Each structure stands twice: as structure tokens, then as C-alpha cells.
Amino acid sequence: MDPEELINIFSRLILGGLASFLAILLWPRIRDPAWMLVIIGIIMAYVETVCSVLVHLGIDAGKILVIGSVSIIPLLLSCLSIAFFIAALWVMVIRKYRRS
């Protein structure tokens, strides 16, 4: 592995870990559904980062569930975090237009 890849991997793991740690600390204090979805999205983004690093290192769990030639686990992990962010924003939009 070249230094650029190592810096990329370590920065993604450290920053994602910090964001996940802060999200988990915030979890018990939050009762708002939109913020809970954002927190779940942050955690899912970190899970996707860890899995992509493991695949990069040669540990490939993506071959467990395959449909055709598509590995389902990496596909789901890459889409889940943004899906939770979309759901959080949708909750905020619904809340905003319901009040008006």
C-alpha cells in the first residue's frame, strides 16, 4: 500500500469513528425522529467505511450474499447511510410544511 492510500484509510477510519462516537453519545439525549435518522445514517456510513477497508485489505464479506454477479452487502451498505439521511430530511420537510 502506498502512503496516499494509508492516509486515506486512516483519515476515513478516524474521522468516521469520531463522528460515530459523538453520534452514539448524542443518541440517548435525542427524541426527535429526524435527528435519530441522521445518527443512524452516520453510523451506517462508518460501517460502510470499515467494510470497504476490510475489502481493500483482502477480507471480502461481500461474497456472502450474491444475486447474479452483484454483491448485495456492499451495495446495501453504500446506499443505507444516504437513505437514512434522505429519510431524516423528508421528516424535516413534512414537519415544516405541516406547521405552515
DSSP string, 2-42: -HHHHHHHHHHHHHHHHHHHHHHHHGGG---HHHHHHHHHH
Amino acid present at 88: A
- pLDDT at position 39: 95
pLDDT of res. 17: 95
List Cβ<8 Å contacts ≥24 apart for 1-9: 5/56, 9/53, 9/56
In the chain, domain spans: 3-99
For 40-94, write each residue's pLDDT tens digit. Answer: 999 999 999 998 888 888 887 667 778 888 888 888 888 999 999 999 999 999 9
* pTM for the model: 0.84
Q: Which of 4, 83, 81 is nearest to 50 (CA)?
A: 81
User: Mean pLDDT over residues 12-20, rounded?
Assistant: 95
Confidence of residue 23 (pLDDT cuts 50, 70, 90): very high
